[in-house]
Amino acid sequence: MQRMTALFFAALLATGLMTATAHAQQDQESTQGSMATQEAAPTQDFSDEQLQQFADASQEIAVLSQEYTQRLQEAEDESAQQEVRTEANERMIEVVEDSGLDVDIFNAIGQTIQQDPEMMQRVQEMAQS
């Protein structure tokens, strides 16, 4: 269940990542201002290859997220919703693993880019290319 929650979080992050590109500079400036008043969490170093794999997988997950969000809203009852969630989770895991990353690394990158505006910008640029 924790893995599914993490992937749904990642899917939401991926969707936000892909739609936030136009506002990246403005968001980066405001994030840097708020980060200056908080303790910076330690960030991990990820290779350019891993970041590119994350960017590619995020784009696919964003599409899946939209598809499954619609299916989830159309589900008739809790049982049907759980079935949609399970299927979405399996598909997202497949996308992540097909990208060459494991789920833990994918989620770690997702969490790190939330705290590191420069890394977020790098991933956004990779997603655009």
The pLDDT tens digits for 103-126 are 999 999 999 999 999 999 999 999
Residue 72 contacts residue 85 (beta carbons within 8 Å): yes
H-only helix segments in 20-77:
24-35, 48-74
Above 80 in pLDDT, residue 3?
A: no
| pTM as predicted | 0.68
